[in-house]
Amino acid sequence: MSSEPVESTTAAIRLSAKASGFARRGQPWFYGNEIEAGPLAPSRLVRVHDEGGRDLGLGFTSTSKLALRLAGPWPGDALPDREAFFHVRLQAAIERRASWLGPEDGARLVHGEADGIPGLVVDRYGKVLVLQSTSVVVEEALSAIVPFLAERLHADSVVARNDLAARKHEGLPEEVRLLHGRRIEEVTIVEHGVRHTVRPFSGHKTGFYLDQRPARALVRELAKGRRVLDLFCYQGGFSLNALAGGAVSAVAVDQSGAALQQAAAGAQANGLRGLFTHEANVFDFVREQREKNEQYDLIVLDPPAFAKSRRELEGAERGYRDLNRQALRLLAPHGFLVTCTCSHHMVLPRFEELVRQSAAGLPFRLALRQRLGAGPDHPVWITHPESEYLKVLLLQRMD
């Protein structure tokens, strides 16, 4: 994994003609057989050339199957100092968000390839930064990355949430550890005026589902006077927004008792009434509700990624279809369904097709009112579809 640096200022790796075409069209990932020549020192920052020796910017090499990940253009033709590279990219990522984000405490600051840093994610929760790295190049540069971020963002704590299976492809251990400052178990962020407790060491992902911010805002907007059902609620991000937006009640369902306790604590911390938590398997719960003829005016369906790989897609599709069909049948007249998939294998047209199939045979028409995704702090790099993993549809029962 750690070989001696053999970087020269001019050495570059050269892609095959076919791969060069893909690279020019914006594809960022390449296998070993697409690299024609060059100093193939593993896991380094390299300059990349096309088949004719023309510049394609920088890249990270790796000993994994994914031998090269492009890291975007860079002026000149020399290889930058590694520290300078990371500082410039991090600074740009921070500045890019400065104009989009309001005074929220929670935001994604670095979103991997889309920010020109393959294999690095950084989320900010107030004074706590949580990062995830899936590249040896990033890992070996942490001594440059962490102090820079800590200083620029006045962080009290920087945590590595590297309990990620993807790390094994790079020969990196799965671990959660403090990289800077003091250990902070819980931090409160305020989003749209609602307080959320984030657990950097133990919460899902880096501690919170930052990516659902636009959908949380939507739920809040729609909730007034409505009976809300929050399926796969985790710590109740949607329910808290629904209640803050004037919902008469929010029924929050999850199979995790601990998550439901956190949801209840969240409602209390925000002074919100009307939360009813229900520990259950959602698949059973929706069936039982149907048998009881229960109805809801606003349903949020935000399951975990059923398709973690392409192989699992078929089973996953069945799951999404079933759940959506059941949820649609629980909608009261004029009711809304906010339905989500966070699996990047489930592309938007396919997801819409599944929802369409779920709607077949309903005794009412269904309108597609809005399409949403993650917020602007999770930029989607248009030529890298993997960066668009969250799709959210707002549907409404037409009566």
Instruction: Kindly list the residues in this chain that would bind ligand SAH in the complex (CB under 6 A).
Output: 204, 209, 212, 232-234, 237-238, 254-256, 259, 281-283, 302, 304
Cα 145 from Cα 123, distance rounded (Å): 14
Q: By C-alpha distance, which of 338, 337, 345 is closest to 305?
A: 345
CB of 237 to ligand SAH, least distance (A): 4
The answer to whether 179 touches 158, Cβ cutoff 8 Å, is: yes
Q: Nearer to ligand SAH by C-beta: 276 or 364?
A: 276
- Give the pair of three-digit tokens for residue 26: 């914006």
Can you spell out the DSSP letters for 129-195? EEEEE--HHHHHTHHHHHHHHHHHTT-SEEEEEE--GGGGGGTPPPEEEEEEE---S-EEEEETTEE
CB of 224 to ligand SAH, least distance (A): 20
- Integer-rounded Cα Rg, in Å, for the chain is 23
The answer to whether 242 touches 252, Cβ cutoff 8 Å, is: no
**Contacts for 291 with CB less than 8 Å, ≥ 6 apart:** none
Is 386 in a helix, a strand, or coil?
Answer: helix
Say how many C-beta atoms besides its own lie within 10 A of residue 372's C-beta. Answer: 18
Q: Nearer to ligand SAH by C-beta: 67 or 260?
A: 260
CB of 252 to ligand SAH, least distance (A): 9
Cα 202 from Cα 49, distance rounded (Å): 42
Helices (H) and strands (E) in the chain, counts: 10, 20
Cα 323 from Cα 325, distance rounded (Å): 5
Q: Nearer to ligand SAH by C-beta: 123 or 302?
A: 302
Exposed, middle or buried, 66 (CB in 10 Å: 0-12/13-18/19+)? buried
Is 348 in a helix, a strand, or coil?
Answer: helix
> Which residue's entry shows tokens 């306790």?
261
Residue 340 among the catalytic residues: no
Which DSSP symbol is given to 80? P
CB of 18 to ligand SAH, least distance (A): 40
CB of 81 to ligand SAH, least distance (A): 40
Q: Nearer to ligand SAH by C-beta: 116 or 203?
A: 203
Q: By C-alpha distance, which of 20, 80, 89 is closest to 56?
A: 20
Q: Nearer to ligand SAH by C-beta: 44 or 161?
A: 161
Q: Catalytic one among 189, 250, 330, 342?
A: 342
Q: By C-alpha distance, which of 357, 296, 346 is closest to 323?
A: 357
Q: Nearer to ligand SAH by C-beta: 68 or 121?
A: 121
Q: Nearer to ligand SAH by C-beta: 67 or 342?
A: 342
CB of 187 to ligand SAH, least distance (A): 16
CB of 225 to ligand SAH, least distance (A): 22
Q: Which residues are marked as active site?
A: 342
